[in-house]
Every structure is written in structure tokens, then in C-alpha cells.
Amino acid sequence: MLIALGLLACGSARQHAALGWSLGGEAHVFVADDRFARDFYRELTGGRLDDTLAGHALVALEPRAIRGATVLSARGAAAARLTLVRFHAPQSCGSPARVTELVLAFPPGGASGRSTPPSHVTVVALLDAPPLARGAGPQPKPLSQRKSLELVNQVATRAESRGSLVASLTLDPDKSADAGEVIAVSQGRYAVGLRARFRVGDDTLLVTAVAVTDTGAHSVHWVVRPVRSRLINGMIQSGKASRYSLRGAVARPDAAPLLLLDEIADVSPRDSRASAVDPETGRVVATQPLALRCP
């Protein structure tokens, strides 16, 4: 029997899941958190990570006990087994914190085969959930490009009713303004991300938000409530303001899909983050620096 990574998850009360990507029959997920790394290393070895990692960029361990996790992708939930843990020193992955990399292997064939993610897609590993394999089920029908554009513009006007749009929005997750995204999350319900410029009096504001709504934007549930920032020469001036981009979703058994968001910090790029968010509660399930790159 596979034992869930409950002790690992308890090492940091702030994160019980990890973001990463798939590669062949594996998933590589990452947690950028000093306490998480120290506690998990102590649980694995009984030793101190600071002593072992001193003078090294990387320490790798194979777990002695069998440990499992559930890996979520657009295909559904796949059971996986922890085969390798890498502890990366601060700054070696582009993060000031120590980074724990978990390598999770998918069993060949069997029930997990239908839900095992293909290579090079974003995944979310539930570290304190018993290993589970379940397909995503029937996929909701995506909106046409025309209807998606209409929906993005409708949600934008709901986000800022005092001003007028500077330009109609386009569908482009990489565009910093006048753009948005639409992803079908269930039958008749769509996640919408937006970055819209509005003219309000003498000011130009950037309004960014993430919502779940119906095709006519009659009932709008804000996952990330509208954030308004004054633009000067096209740039956000406040150091705490960000732009949100909707990058996709991963399926969960018996629950709404988790939304994959990029939060871009204009003034302080090092604060930009990628996150998996529960659309029903707005809770961040997993997060990591957007610039995280481990050798």
C-alpha cells in the first residue's frame, strides 16, 4: 500500500500541494519554502539540511519508505509514487528559498493509464491525498472565439462600471493589457481572466481579475476580485499591484477544476508567481515563483 505524503505536507502548514510539470512517466513538482525543505529532510534522514547542503548546490535522496501522491492534470487524477527528492540550495533555482523537488513516477498501464498526463504539461501534486487514479470525465465544450471575446469584454465591464474600455480585449494570455482568456470549467460555466485598460476621469487604470461565470456574464463569481492600478506610461506604479493571466486548469475528482494562474508583478518581477487556485473559494492550493528554474 502506498502511504500518502501527510508528514511531508505537515512540514509546512502553508502548502499541501506542489506545482510542476510532467515528463514521460514522471512528474517533477517543486516547493520553494525553507521550512518545508528542513522539515522534510529531517523526516527522511533525522539530520539537518543546513549542515548537509552547506557548500553544495544540490542534495539528492531516494526515500526509504514507499510514499505516494495524487497528481492532477487536465486528464484527471493519476496515482504516483515518490522515487527521488532533490534539495536545491537557495538561489540555485532562481528562488531565495531552498527548493524541494519531488520526482513522482506513474505506474505503467493499469487504472492510472487513462489519467496519466502527457509530457510537458503543468501538473499539481496533492501531497497529503491518498494516491488516486480517476479520469477527468466528459470535457465541457469550449466557447467559440467570437463568444469568448464577447464574454471577456462583458466580464471586464462588470469589473469596472465607472469607466470606458480603452480598447476591445483580445484573447492572448501573454499580452499585458487589453487581453483576456476563457476556459470552460463545466457545462455552461467558464473561467475568465482579464487585463483591461479603462479611462476613468483623467486617469487610465489597469483592471485585472479572474472570474467564473455563465455565457452571458449574468452571474459572476470573482476568484480574484478586480484589482485597479493607475498606469503611467503604460506601467503600474504601485509595488504591490499585479496582473493576472489564466493559463489553464487541472481536473479534480468530485470538485471544480483548479485554475492555473500567473501573477505578474510589474514593479518587482521577482515577486511574480504561478499558482493553482480553487475557483470556489479563491484559496491558493499551490504556488511557486514564476521564474523558478532548477538545474
Asked if residues 234 and 177 have their Cβ atoms less than 8 Å apart, the reply is yes
| Nearest alpha-carbon partner for 104 in 121, 87, 127, 88 | 127
pLDDT 10s digits, 149-172: 999 999 999 999 999 999 999 999
Strand 179-186 to 170-171 pairing: parallel
In degrees to the nearest 10, what's the CA dihedral of 268, 269, 274, 278? 30
Q: What is the mean pLDDT of the chain?
A: 90
The confidence score (pLDDT) of residue 3 equals 32
pLDDT of 104 strictly over 80: yes
pLDDT digits (tens, 9 = 90+) for 207-260: 999 999 999 999 999 999 999 999 888 778 766 788 999 999 999 988 899 999
* pTM for the predicted model, two decimal places: 0.91
Q: 34: helix, coil or strand? A: helix
DSSP state, 283? -
**How far is 295 from 292, CA to CA, in rounded Å?**
10
